[in-house]
Amino acid sequence: MLTLVARRLLLALPNLVLISALLFFSVSGLLGNPAGMMLGQDASPAAIAELAHKMGFDRPLYMQYLSWMGSALTGDLGRSYATNESVAAALLPRIPITAELAVLAILVATLSATILNSLTVARRVVRPVAAIMGIFGITVPNFMLGISLIFLFSVRLGWLPTTGWAPWSDGVLEHLRHLLLPVLTLSAFYFGSFSLVYRAEYEMVRKELYVRVARAKGLSETAVSFKHVLPNSILPVITYIGISLGQLTGGAVVTETVFSVPGTGSLFVNAILARDFPVMLAVSMLIILGVVLMNLVADLLYTVANPRIRFT
């Protein structure tokens, strides 16, 4: 297992370097001279040139990239052009918020999709309802669903807060009240996607010979479904979880904006609006690193879901 982890991480390093270089060069080319953005539109060309020389913006792009990469490896992600705050100091407190939101959304989507589509009791009622919910989750945009949930549960019923975020220090109940609507909004799309993938695989697996043998041994349909069919049907869902982290981060940007959640998504939106290159680059690299690590976790979960699978 450790050999697998080490090999995957080594293979991921060239990809991380290549993608970081592409991001750096493309964003630098699109934004232009950062000195002009830092000084504003009224700055004179001489002042812009002086600041560009002082900050090293007049150096070739490859030298700027190597300098940034060297600093990033030591934990120094630069300073924000908009606030002059350390990027690492602005980013680190927001990572746990987005991570909690993303992990809970994935868990809710995965558990609900697999359990509802595996139930044999009231099959004619539960699974059609799950299918309708899945189609609804896929087709309705995140921002529209989030606004609709706010209108229903916050404005009309008054059960939950409209926006904002409550840390754990404010109490578990208050934290969960602020967390519920963002998690439901973010998990809706993935519930629909996971349901489609899982249901297709489930119907194929339940026709396999070993499943028919399990039924012939007298096992109940529920035992067959959860003990034999589910472990072999969930593998494509695990794969989809691994590759959907990029989409999840994109959804988190919208969800955090709608609900005013102070995570990395809202920080990324503010950085784009302010054309704050260091923050944009840091969040983008965090997303890429998360995708790589999530794919590794998905590979490891394969062995948990199906012990017959072993990586060498």
Residues 67, 56 contacting (CB under 8 angstroms)? yes
Q: Report, as an integer, the average pLDDT of 60-79.
A: 81
The pLDDT tens digits for 255-282 are 888 888 888 888 888 888 777 888 888 8
The answer as to whether 133 is a domain residue is yes
The answer as to whether 8 is a domain residue is yes
Q: What percent of the chain is predicted at pLDDT more than 90?
A: 1
Give the residue with greater pLDDT, 56 vs 305: 56
Q: Report, as an integer, the average pLDDT of 119-140.
A: 75
**Of 34-43, 127-136, 226-235, minimum mean pLDDT range:** 34-43
Identify whether residues 262 and 230 lie together within a single domain. Answer: yes
Residues 183, 108 contacting (CB under 8 angstroms)? yes
The pLDDT tens digits for 172-189 are 888 888 889 999 988 888
Whole-angstrom Cα distance, residue 95 to residue 311?
Answer: 31
Identify whether residues 128 and 72 lie together within a single domain. Answer: no
Other C-beta atoms lying within 10 Å of the C-beta of residue 7: 11
Give the residue with greater pLDDT, 132 vs 310: 132
- Structural domain total, the chain: 2
Identify whether residues 203 and 298 lie together within a single domain. Answer: yes
**Which residue matches tokens 């990324």?**
268
Whole-angstrom Cα distance, residue 70 to residue 247?
Answer: 29
Identify whether residues 301 and 237 lie together within a single domain. Answer: yes
Q: Which two tokens stand for residue 32?
A: 């232009």
Identify whether residues 191 and 252 lie together within a single domain. Answer: yes
The answer as to whether 233 is a domain residue is yes
Cβ neighbours of residue 292 under 8 Å, at least 6 residues apart? 12, 15, 16
Given a cut of 60, whether residue 312 has pLDDT beyond it is: no
The answer as to whether 254 is a domain residue is yes
pLDDT for residue 308: 61
Given a cut of 80, whether residue 3 has pLDDT beyond it is: no
Identify whether residues 35 and 156 lie together within a single domain. Answer: no
Range of the domain at 213: 94-305
Q: Which two tokens stand for residue 218?
A: 């007298």
Among 34, 50, 76, which residue terminates a domain? 76
Q: Which two tokens stand for residue 182?
A: 């963002």
Identify whether residues 32 and 180 lie together within a single domain. Answer: no
CATH, residue 142? 1.10.3720.10
pLDDT for residue 134: 82
The answer as to whether 310 is a domain residue is no
> How confident is residue 38, by pLDDT bands cut at 50, 70 and 90?
low
Identify whether residues 138 and 16 lie together within a single domain. Answer: no
Q: What is the 3-state secondary structure (H, E, C) of the chain?
A: CHHHHHHHHHHHHHHHHHHHHHHHHHHHHHHCCHHHHHHCCCCCHHHHHHHHHHHCCCCCHHHHHHHHHHHHHCCCCCECCCCCCEHHHHHHHHHHHHHHHHHHHHHHHHHHHHHHHHCCCCHHHHHHHHHHHHHHHHHCCHHHHHHHHHHHHHHHCCCCCCCCCCCHHHCHHHHHHHHHHHHHHHHHHHHHHHHHHHHHHHHHHCCCHHHHHHHHCCCCHHHHHHHHHHHHHCHHHHHHHHHCHHHHHHHHHHHHHHCCCCCHHHHHHHHHHHCCHHHHHHHHHHHHHHHHHHHHHHHHHHHHHCCCCCCC
The answer as to whether 86 is a domain residue is no
Look up the pTM and report it: 0.78
Phi, psi (deg, nearest 5) at residue 230: -60, -50
> How confident is residue 307, by pLDDT bands cut at 50, 70 and 90?
low
Identify whether residues 130 and 177 lie together within a single domain. Answer: yes
The answer as to whether 85 is a domain residue is no
Among 27, 47, 76, which residue terminates a domain? 76
Identify whether residues 6 and 152 lie together within a single domain. Answer: no
Identify whether residues 188 and 285 lie together within a single domain. Answer: yes
Phi, psi (deg, nearest 5) at residue 244: -100, 5
The answer as to whether 82 is a domain residue is no
The pLDDT tens digits for 202-238 are 888 877 887 788 778 877 777 777 777 887 787 778 7
Residues 267, 253 contacting (CB under 8 angstroms)? no
Identify whether residues 44 and 132 lie together within a single domain. Answer: no
